[in-house]
Amino acid sequence: MPIDSSTVEKINQRVYREYPEMRGARPSITPSGKGYTLVYKATAQTPAGPIARVVRVVTDERGKVNRLSTSK
């Protein structure tokens, strides 16, 4: 069963709250085991210049976030 859009929107809001540079980024969603993996990609500005940033969210089948990680 695919993940529903309201669940994706809740996850989006959490990601945007924790990582403001991801605001507006839409995730790529892939099934993984009994849940889903959502991957967000954006560019963050730093004093040294722009860097690519990736946030990865692993959920269970109901959309509960199990793990949230980011690249440095």
pLDDT in tens, 33-53: 899 999 999 988 888 899 899
According to the model, what pLDDT value does residue 29 have? 95
35 within 8 A of 4, measured Cβ to Cβ: no
Q: How far is CA 18 from CA 2, 13, 64, in A?
A: 25, 9, 16
Q: Which pTM was predicted?
A: 0.88
According to the model, what pLDDT value does residue 1 have? 67
| Total number of domains in the chain | 1
The residue count for the chain: 72
Domain hosting 47: range is 5-70
Task: Give CA–CA dist 32/51, Å, rounded.
Answer: 28
